[in-house]
Structure formats: C-alpha cells, structure tokens
Amino acid sequence: MASVNKRPDGKWRARYRGPDGRERARHFTRKIDAERWLATQGADVARGEWVDPALGKMTFIQWAEQWEAGLSDLRPTTKALNLGVLHNHLLPRFAGYQLARITTSDVKVMIADDLVAGYSNSAVRRHVIVLRVILDAAVVEARIGRNPCAGVKLPPESSRDMRFLEPVEVARLADAIRPDHYRPLILTAAYVGLRWGELAGLKVERVDPLRRTVQVVEQLVEVAGKVEFGPPKTKAGRRTVTMPAAIAEMLGEHMSCEAVRSSGLVFPTPSGTPMRRSNFRKVWRRAVTEAGFDGGPLDGLVFHELRHTSAALAIAQGAHPLVIRDRLGHSSIMVTMDTYGGLFPSLDEAIAEGLDGVLRASLADQTRTRADQVTRLRRSAR
C-alpha cells in the first residue's frame, strides 16, 4: 500500500511498503515530488530493481574501505594503480557522499574538473573506470540500484602514431647504450619482443641458447617501491619464443658475466640487482640522445617501442598474424590486429593474387577438357 498525505507542518509524506515488508517514508515540500518519488519506488519494485534506501546511506569512504578489504583477484600492479586513484583522487572528492547520492552529474563534473586541472585523457578515463568498478560492487551488494557512471561519455583515449625502428637504428641505439652491459637487453627487446617486466624478470634457466628458445613464465613488477615476481600479463603471456641465432649466441656469452651468475637473472643491473624501470629510464634517455633520435621522427622514444619494432621486423619477414600473436603473447588475434593490422597491407593483395592463380588454372583446365571432348567427338564421327 502506498500513499501521499499532507502533514500538519505543510510537508507531504510519501510512504510505501517495500518487498521486505517494512514501511518506507520520505517527506517533500511539494506534493508532485512526493508522487514522483513514490512512482519511482513502485516501478523499481515492479521491475525487481528495488534496493533498500537505508543501504545507500553508507558513505563512499565507508564503502571504499569495505571494497578495498575484499580485493584479492587483481594483479599487484593493477591493484596498486587502482588504490592510488582511490586514495589520491576519488576519496578527496566523494568521501562524505552517501552512495545513493552520487549522481551521473557528479561524475560528469569530475571529468570536466579533471580536464581543466590538466589531467591527460588516459588519467581521466582511469579515474572514472576505478569509480565505476567501486560502484558496480555497490550495485551487486544492492546498496544502489544503478551505477551513476553508466552511460557517461569518457574523453577519447590518447594515442599516437605507431613508431618502430629500422634495423640500422636498433644497432645504433644498442651501440649508444652505456654501460654496454645493457646492449644485449636492447637487441633482445627489438628482435624477440618481450615486455619490460618479462625481460627484467627473465631467469637464466628460462633461456636455452642451444635450442634458441626463451620461456616466458613470469615477470618482475614494481609495487609500492618493491620489486617482486608475478605471472605474465595474461594467460597467453606464458609462451616459448624462438630467438634469432645471433641473439642466442650473444646471450650465451652475456650470461657468463658475474652480474648474471650472481643474480640468476639474464638482465640484471651491472651490480647484479634487479632492474627498476625508474632507474633504467636515465640510462635509456642518454642512449636515445646519444643515438641522435632527439628532435627527429623518433623524438621521445620509449622502451616499449622496441616491442613494436620486433613486431614490425617480423611482419616484414612475412610472419602470419597468428605467429605474431603467439610471439608477443597477446590475449587474442584481435589485440594483434588492432595494434599492428596496419603493418599487414600486402595480405589482401597476396590473397587476391593466389585466388587469381587458382581461377586461371581452373579455367585453363576447363578449356583443355572441352578441347579434348571436341577432339573425341570428331574422331568418333569419322
């Protein structure tokens, strides 16, 4: 039973009985607002989407603490990234908000404020995505009926043109790296295509120079200033990659150095400790400058572009997309084609040329068959 009644103080009281049998009520200054609220509650009950309003009174900070305590299935780096967004960005804005009071307009205002503050599109997208995940959990727990992030248009993902090095440029960069202890790292990244974490965490026993194989079963990640081993980025990341013979020979010699033997890592620092991306970045920037890439088409070159280079070099050798997918450890062929599809311009032409050969051969066979039939008919007529 639902009703709207005017109270002695002039306000309108809307009340109804929820699916749990308990009565809920709310007061409004205008009768029409009370009727609209009551209609909304009734529609939610009818659709099976009703939630207990009392549960939505929990503040965002209270729910965030509960959500954080339940995190267990995220990769360490992803967990650290998401918690950084929560504590540094979302809590300062929404901490005291009741869950049910966070609106789609609030989310849109956050996006606008972030862009004005100078955050990149990628950072703004990450802020909204983390907020969406947190509030999705609140929807699952029936604390709110819908996620206010749903349907919010995000700023476009920032992107730049795909860049990769020519073989001579890879050689120039490898020669420029100092100390030259890192030279095998540069060449392996460019010709084998492993990710930074996979290279940093590659153990000696995973490399077989005689069979020219590298087994990728783990990677080194940095979480809260500490390095630790973890699984590859995806299930498909566990893979065995064949190296060029020259790379295998180079690694065979490289793995005899003291830093490798003492650490058990193929690519440690010269002192035998695990590589940290933040420390290596200085070495990298000096090498990029020394190689003469600053100010040109490769200005601002980043280490990950060696992975793009590996893909481009393999494609130039005629590698099939499925082979590229397996070598790079992509989760699906769609990821490979979305990333490197533009480097396969000749595949369609090759298919057309192959089909043309099949068609011409079949037409030629058919012409010969008809000629043979005519010849046999003429002979039988005699």
Q: How far apart are CA 183 and CA 289, in angstroms?
A: 16
Strands (E), the chain: 3-6, 12-17, 23-28, 207-208, 213-216, 219-223, 226-230, 239-242
Phi-psi sector, 59: left (phi>0), alpha (psi -120 to 50), beta? beta
Per-block average pLDDT, block size 10, for the chain (382 residues)? 87 86 86 88 78 85 92 78 92 94 94 91 93 94 89 81 90 96 97 96 96 95 82 89 96 96 96 93 96 92 94 88 92 86 69 81 80 64 60
Quick one: pLDDT at residue 317?
87
CATH architecture under which domain 57-140 falls: Orthogonal Bundle (1.10)
What does the chain come to in residues? Answer: 382
3-state secondary structure of 269: coil
* This model's pTM is above 0.75: no
Q: 167-176 and 183-192 are packed helices; what angle lies between their axes, rounded to 10 degrees?
A: 160
Q: How far apart are CA 240 and CA 5, in angstroms?
A: 73
Backbone angles phi, psi at 137, to 5 degrees: -65, -35
Of 263, 227, 241, which is closest to residue 189 (Cα–Cα)?
A: 241
Q: Where are the domains of the chain?
A: 3-50, 57-140, 167-343, 351-382
Quick one: pLDDT at residue 373?
67
Quick one: pLDDT at residue 151?
87
Strands (E), 21-99: 23-28
279 neighbors 182 (Cβ within 8 angstroms) = no
**Residue 232: which residues within 8 A CB-CB, separation 6 or more?**
198, 216, 217, 218, 219, 238, 239, 329
Quick one: pLDDT at residue 345?
60
Domain 167-343 has CATH 1.10.3720.10: no
Quick one: pLDDT at residue 243?
95
Quick one: pLDDT at residue 192?
96
CB atoms within 10 A of CB 170: 21
Quick one: pLDDT at residue 381?
60
204 neighbors 266 (Cβ within 8 angstroms) = yes
Quick one: pLDDT at residue 45?
79
Beta bridge partners of 230: 219
Cα dist from 304 to 63, 163, 271, 310, 324, whole Å: 37, 10, 24, 10, 16
CB atoms within 10 A of CB 305: 18
